[in-house]
Structure 1
C-alpha cells in the first residue's frame, strides 16, 4: 500500500473515531435532560391517559408547596378532586408561591388512588394567565433530537479542529495550544446558535435571539463538551508524539543495522585486502622481515577487531586507539614517509566509551580525499579536548577528486545519535576538516544481588 493511500486511510479512521467520540459526548451532555424528561413524563403525562388529554378542574384550589419544592392544589369536596400534583420544576418555572389560588387543567391518574397531574394553569389569584402557551412547544422527542444533534455537531467540530491534518513530526505543545485557542473561538461562536426554547411561547430559537444572553445551564453543557474535547485532543497529541518517537526509533534501528552490515562489507573490501597484500608483498621483496612480521600482526589485529566489534555497540577509547594504531600502520607502510598520525590523548579518558569503529571511516575519508605525496606529507591529528575526541586533517584535494556519496559520514552521525543520544560536530573550512566526538562516561556496573 502506498504512503498516500495509508494517509487517506488514516484520515478516514480519525474522522470515524471523532464521530464516535462526538456521539458519546452528546449523549453524556444530554443525559440529565433524558432523566428529567423521564421524570416529567412519569409525573406530568401519565401513561394510560389517552393522548395526554386533560380536563379542567371545576372550582378554585389553594396551592400548598412542600419543603421539597413540589406542590399540591387542594380542593374542597364540591370539586370532585382532592388535589392536583405540581412538580418542583413547574413551581419554580411559573414562580408559584404557597397559598396561590389557582384554576387549572389536569390529566387524570393512571392508578387508583393516584393524584391528578398539572397540565395547564388557567387563572392565578383571580387573574387570567398565559401559561398555557408553554405547551405549544414542540414534542419532547423533537427537542431532544435537536439537543443531541447540536452537541454532536459542536463536539465533532471541536474534535476536528484539534485532530485534523496533524503531522506526527509537528505534534508539539505549541501546535496543541494554538488549536485549543481555535476551539475556544469556535465554541464561543456556536454557543450563540444553540437551540433553546422560549418558554412563554414554546418556540425553539437560537440562543442569541433569546431574552437572556447568559444561560448558565447551556454554558455548563457547552463547557463540558469543550473540556472533554480538549482532553481527548491532548490524548490524541500524546499518542501522535509517541508514534513519532517509535517510528523514529525503528528508523534509526533499521539504519543502524544497515550501517553495521555495510561497515562489515565495506571495511573488508577487495581493494583494501589487495592493497594490504601488495604492501606485504613489497616488504617481503625488499627483505624487510621485521616490518613484514609487524605488518602481518597489525593486519591480523585489524581484521579481528573489525569482525569482533562490528557486532558491538560501543568500545572504550583505549580500544579504538589501539585499532587506529594498527589500521594507521597499514596506511603508513603503503604511504612510506608521507603519512603521519599525531596522537595526543589524555590517558585519564582511556575508559570513556564511543561507538565501535568510529575512527576507521574518518581515517579512510582523510586518506581517500586528500593528496599524499613526498612533497606534501599528510598528517592526521587524533587528540582529546576536554571530554571530546577531536579528529582533524588538512584539506589537500587530489587533482582528480575521488567519487564521494557522503554515506560514511552520515552513517556515523546516525550511529552516534542512536547509541549516545548526542550529535557529532563537523567543522569544515577551506584549510581543515574537523570532527568533534563527545565521549561517554563508562556505565556503572550494577551491584550483584546476594
Structure 2
C-alpha cells in the first residue's frame, strides 16, 4: 500500500474520531456546541494523524519480524504515542478555553489520564487496521513472488530441455538403448529407459510446485547422469554427499542439474574422465548449503556458457527467497566451485507427488 492510501485511511479514522468527540460534546451541551469546543475538535486530528503515521511507520519497519516479536517492540511505542496524544489533547483543550475567555479546568493531570484511557483504544484499533493492511500487502507480495518463482522454474525447465534433450543426445541415448537390447542386456536397458522417462517427466511436469525435496532433486541428477553415461560410454565421476537428515529439505526444482551439466561439459569431458565432480549438501548456521565443484580446471576465467547457467540459478533463488539466499562461484587451485546458501525448510513444500 502506498503512502497516499495510508494517509487517506489515517485521515478517515481521525475524522471519525473527531465526529465522535463532537457528538459527545453536543450531547453534554444539549445540542449546542460552543465555538471554543468546535476549534478544539477541529484541532484534535492534527497531532493524531502525525502520531498515527509514526505508528504505521513502526509497523512497516518491523514487518519482517514475527507477530510476537513485532508487538513486543510496538507496545512501548504505542504507549508513548498514546501519552503524547493525551497530553497534547488536554493542552489544546485548555488553550482553546483560554483563547475564548473561559476558565481553565484545573484538572490537567486527571484529564490526561482519562484521555489515555480513550486514546489507547483509538490507537490500538488503528494499529490492528495497519496490521491487517500490512498482512494483505504481504499476502499479495508472496502471491506475486510465488508466481514469479513458478515462471522462473518453467523457464529453467525449458532451458534445461533445450540444452540437454537435443536431437544428438536423443539419438545417442536411443542408440545406446538399442545396443543394450540387441546384446540381451534388457535389465540395463529397462533401467536406462526408466531414468530417461523420470528425467523427462521431471522437466516437463506441468505441476506448479516450485520446490521439491533435496532427495528428489538428487534423484533427478542421478537420472541425468545415467543419460550422460550412455552418451559418452562411461559413467561420469560424480560424487554426491547428502546427509540423511537433509533429504527432506526444500530446494528449487532443477537447481543442481544445470550446475552438474556445466561441470561435466567444461571440466570432466574435456579431461577425458580425469576430473571429478562433487555435489554436497550441508547445514551452515541454520541454513542449507549446496555445493557443486569440479577438479578439472585451475585458476582462470569462468568457463564459457557457465555464466548463463549461474545467472539463471541466481535469479531463481532471488525470486524464491529474496535476500535469504545467495550464490557464490569461482575457481580455486583444483577447479571451479559453486556455493548456494538458502533457507533450511523455510518454505512449506508444495505437493510433489510424482506420477507412477
TM-score normalized with structure 1 length: 0.55
Q: Which residue of 2 aligns with 1:18?
A: 10
Structure 1 partner of 2:317? 413
1:55 equivalent in structure 2: none
The CA deviation at 1:256 is: 2.6
What is the root-mean-square deviation in Å for CA atoms of aligned residues?
4.8
Match in the other structure for 1:272:
165
Instruction: State the SS of the aligned residue for 2:166.
Output: helix
Asked whether 1:434 is paired with 2:339, we answer yes
Q: Secondary structure at the match of 2:278?
A: strand
- Which residue number in structure 1 is paired with residue 307 of structure 2? 404
Equivalent residues of 2:328, 2:339 under 8 A apart: yes
2:271 to 366, 374, 379: 374
Which region of structure 1 is more displaced relative to structure 2, 328-337 or 287-296?
Answer: 287-296
Q: Specify every segment of 5 or more residues in structure 2 that has no aligned partner in the other structure, as ranges.
A: 65-69, 350-356
Deviation of 1:254 (Å) = 0.7
Task: Find the partner of 2:43 among 110, 125, 150.
Answer: 150
Aligned pair in 2 of structure 1 residues 219, 326: CA closer, same or farther (>3 Å)? closer
Alignment check: 8 A CA contact 2:157 2:254 kept: no
User: Matches of residues 382-401 of structure 1 in structure 2 within 5 Å?
Assistant: 382-383=279-280, 385=282, 390-394=290-294, 396=297, 401=304
Structure 1: which 5+ runs fail to align?
Answer: 1-5, 42-138, 444-450
Partner residue in 2 for 1:247: 140
Residue 231 in structure 1 maps to residue 124 in structure 2: yes
* Cα displacement (A) at 1:258: 0.3
Aligned ranges 1:122-133 → 2 under 5 Å: none
Aligned to 1:323: 220
SS of structure 2 residue aligned to 1:373: coil
1:261 Cα offset (Å): 2.1
Q: Quick one: distance in 2 between partners of 1:140 and 1:439?
A: 62
Summarize the Cα distance change of 1:34–1:358 in structure 2 as closer, same or farther, 3 Å threshold: same
| Residue number in structure 1 paired with 2:248 | 352
Aligned-residue offset at 1:341: 0.9
Give the whole-Å Cα distance in 2 for the aligned partners of 1:299 and 1:251. 33
Tell me the alpha carbon deviations over residues 111-159 of structure 1, each in whole angstroms, 9 at most, x when there is no partner. xxxxxxxxxxxxxxxxxxxxxxxxxxxx953233233223344434433
TM-superposed deviation, 1:307: 2.8
Equivalent-residue separation in structure 2 for 1:161 and 1:316 (angstroms): 43
Name the CA distance, whole Å, in 1 between partners of 2:331 and 2:152.
Answer: 29
Asked which structure has the greater CA Rg, the reply is: 1
Give the structure with the larger helix fraction: 2
Change (3 A) 1:384 1:147: closer
What's the CA shift for 1:282? 7.8
* 1:219 maps to 2:112: yes
The answer as to whether partners of 1:366 and 1:393 remain within 8 angstroms in 2 is yes
Higher relative contact order (CA 8 A, sep 6+): 2
1:401-448 residue CA offsets vs partner (Å, 9 max, x unmatched): 226344432355258659xxx9667564642333467579x99xxxxx
2:278–2:292 contact (8 Å) kept in structure 1: yes
Return the TM-score normalized by structure 2.
0.66
Asked if 2 retains the 8 angstrom alpha-carbon contact of 1:389 and 1:436, the reply is yes
Q: Is the alpha carbon distance of 1:289 and 1:321 closer, same or farther for their aligned partners in structure 2, counting shifts above 3 Å?
A: farther
Structure 1 residue 339 displacement after superposition: 3.8
Comparing 267-276 with 237-246, greater Cα deviation is found at 267-276
Given candidates 92, 95, 101, the residue that maps to 1:203 is 101
